[in-house]
Amino acid sequence: MPEIRSTVDTDEVARFSALAADWWNPRGKMAPLHKFNPVRIGYVRDQAALRFGRDTKKLDSMKGLRILDIGCGGGLLSEPLARLGAEMVGVDPSNTNIEAARAHAAQSGLAIDYRCATAEALAEAGEKFDIVLAMEVVEHVSDVSLFVESCASMVRPGGLMIAATLNRTLKSFALAIVGAEYILRWLPVGTHSWEKFVTPNELEIAMEQGGLRVTADQGVIYNIIADRWQLSSDTDVNYMLVAERA
């Protein structure tokens, strides 16, 4: 059997594994992700509703959809989507993170299929999903093209891939690195490497090479007055792309 190629960056895995105990602490080191969570949950729900003809007003609007959350960490995204009725599979290369996710899901009474694995391994096994999520993970892998190719291959015909990441611009360096890590201390120093940020054009090309077609792009900005993240046309720093398989 040929060895499965991997896009896992071991340094990145170690960095996030060290934060495993803090995943569900809204005032801890993951506080920025907790604040960011509502806007990405809403966006995923709305895109799923558009694609699969669901009513977002229903509490189980994602019932019957099999969704993969790649780089799930402690399950901050997987749990809310499971509550909306989705059949969730959460995958992370860190066993420490997966153990934290399983423990919290058990406390919450949620049945989520958490696995310590990689996108490449799941793709090799022939796994298929209605929606593949790569949220805040593209900028942490060692090979973006291979990672996106693996994720795209798991999207069923008619399904979606949604990715959220950081644009590689001078503005993102100033805000996401200098501002967020060194000045405001929202994130531990070293959380991100600016050179690993991915432009929307680069991500779109990778998705298209994986056989998908990008159908939407969306910027996300922090509203300092309202103290919350919100959708925006500005993709200079944080953005999301949606792609479909015909």
Summarised one tens digit per residue, pLDDT across range 55-81 is 999 999 999 999 999 999 999 999 999
Mean pLDDT (the chain) is: 94
Q: What is the pLDDT of residue 188?
A: 81
Better pLDDT: 15 or 167 = 167
136-154 pLDDT, tens digit each: 999 999 999 999 999 999 9
Percent of the chain with pLDDT over 90: 84
What Å distances lie between residue 187 and 16, 39, 107, CA to CA?
12, 19, 27
Q: Which phi and psi (to 5°) does residue 57 adopt?
A: -75, -20
Q: Mean pLDDT throughout 216-240?
A: 96
Mean pLDDT lowest among 24-33, 103-112, 141-150: 24-33
Q: Residue 3: pLDDT band by 50, 70, 90 thresholds?
A: low
pTM here is 0.95
Burial 89-116 (b: 16+ CB within 10 A, else e): bbbbbbebbbebbbebbeeeeeebebbb
Non-local (6+) Cβ contacts of 17 within 8 A are: 94, 96, 97
Which residues make beta-bridge pairs with 89?
Answer: 68, 113
129 three-class SS:
strand
**Cross-strand partners of 67:** 88, 131
Contact yes or no for 24/104 (Cβ under 8 A)? yes
pLDDT at position 1: 47
Q: Look at residue 2 and tell me whether its pLDDT is greater than 60.
A: no
Q: At which residue do the structure tokens 């896992």 appear?
A: 8
Alpha-carbon gap, residue 119 to 146, rounded angstroms: 10
Cα 157 to chain center, whole Å? 21
